Structure 1
Amino acid sequence: MRSLRWNAVMDVFGSDGERVTEEELVKHWLALEREKTGLDTTALDGMSRREALDELLERKPGAAAFLWRASPIEWSRMTLSRTEFERLRVVGGPEGLLWQALSPDGTVMGAAERVENEDLVVLGAETGVDVERVVAFADELATGGELAELVLTKRRGSGSPRVADGNHRATAVCLHLLRTGEYRPQRAYLGIGKNPVLTPLYERIRGVFSRLRPGGPRW
């Protein structure tokens, strides 16, 4: 019983931000995907959660797989602090490919440092990531523009979230920070899913006490 009560405490402190439904998150993400291909987004209003989820999984079978693999998921929307943002990890994938190839330490900040310091043509050819798109987003920030919310995912009790959607935008925020020293507070949806593997106790304790510090980072 003590273990069950302790897990309940972890769950309470593990949630933060404005709670949102999965349907809201899915339709936000699907709207962004439709906009990329010039499709109408107004049709989403008449879609059921199941219809929207099916289309999203068809469009993003890898990144969106978290939606069923980690179910049930608690979704919230929040503004990320600079410390939280710098700890974000790029989307998962095979080692040495795409974002995993671009970021030497697996973070969006690591990806931004390479974009800032290396030849873009060579970097794009080496990793397969559209790094010119990252630069375009950073330039948009420099002129006062805003970027759409990111979609972040993590397992309960684990470390920093991964960017499931918005890796170009997230890297651009870090690139703008590197260039100007200015962090533009970024909004994001965060999904915290079940963890099928018992997380070491010290990891969960560390996560709780970091969230108890007033104004401290949530991961």
Structure 2
Amino acid sequence: MDIEERLRADDRLEPVSRTEVMQYWLANEVEDESDAPDPDGLPTEPGLREELVDRKPIAGRVFGAEEAGWYRTELSVDELRDLRVVVGPESEGWRALADDGRIGTVAKRIREADDATEFDAKAEEDFEEVASLADDIEASGTNGRLVVVEEGDDPAYVADGNHRAVAQVLSLLRDEANDGETDEKREIYFGVRPGATARS
């Protein structure tokens, strides 16, 4: 069973509002900003969406006219690895780091690289940020939720941050190198767009 089938059949899917998802996502985006808006204090959903789209344009697609059904659930480590990087042109950005577009493949490439100079300038910047985030996850023991979206028959992808998703897998790869396999779970918000179905 692939990840999309497993999620659609998951009895543990807990319905949540899209406002909750936007508030969570925006809180992550503004945590290092000075004079940042309070996601919980924004009076309307359109205002919340506008603040989020200003910082993450992909949110305009995620929270577009065709509304998704939103749920909270957990992924296994293998399912986390199988998620795709954020949608976009083939062979550009993150997709250039993995022929199959999987989060796990990108994390493995970063872990196996001798240093960031093996990648181009933009990828080098991404490499360093991911490694730093993975260090933070290992130091704090916290990793937060990811926002994952399924659109029709396309594979589920991470919408809110390839850096965070790859860093989570990178930290797990490091753990496995030291301690063997792990049965850890990762909590996500899961959005199902038109054309896909989920059991509620």
Matches within 5 A, 1:99-178: 99-118=94-113, 119-123=115-119, 125=121, 127=123, 130-156=126-152, 158=153, 160-178=155-173
Contact 1:57 1:64 in 2 (8 A): yes
**Deviates further, 31-40 or 52-61:** 31-40
Q: Which amino acid aligns with 2:82?
A: R
The answer to whether the Cα contact below 8 Å between 1:64 and 1:164 also exists between their aligned partners in 2 is no
Distance 1:15 1:193 in 2: 19
Highest RCO, 1 vs 2 (Cα 8 Å, sep ≥ 6): 2
Match of 1:40 among 36, 41, 47: 36
Contact 1:19 1:76 survives alignment (8 Å): yes
| 1:91 alignment partner AA | V
Asked if structure 2 preserves the Cα contact closer than 8 Å seen for 1:57 and 1:65, the reply is no
The corresponding residue for 2:23 is 27
Q: Count residues with an aligned counterpart.
A: 186
Unaligned runs of 5+ in 1: 1-11, 212-219
Match of 1:5 in 2: none
One-letter amino acid matched to 2:189: Y
- Residue of structure 2 equivalent to 1:192: 192
Distance 1:43 1:162, change over 3 A: closer
Calculate the TM-score normalised by the size of structure 2: 0.80
Percent identity for Structure 1 against Structure 2? 32
Question: Which amino acid in 2 is paired with 1:185?
Answer: K
Task: Please state whether the residue corresponding to 2:94 is helix, strand or coil.
Answer: helix
| Other-structure match for 2:49 | 53
Matched position secondary structure for 1:68: coil
Shift of residue 42, structure 1, vs aligned partner: 2.9
Task: Label 1:84 to 1:138 Cα distance change in 2 as closer, same or farther (>3 A).
Answer: same
Select the structure of larger CA radius of gyration.
1
CA distance in structure 2 between the partners assigned to 1:183 and 1:132 by the alignment: 27
Equivalent residues in 2 for 1:46-85, closer than 5 Å: 46-68=42-64, 71-85=66-80
* Counterpart AA for 1:174: V
Q: Which residue of 1 aligns with 2:3?
A: none
What CA deviation, in whole Å up to 9, does each residue of 1:155-204 have, x standing for no partner?
24x25410001211111121122222146422111100002xxx8xxxx9
Check if 1:18 corresponds to 2:14.
Answer: yes
How far residue 147 of structure 1 moved from its aligned partner, in angstroms, is 1.7
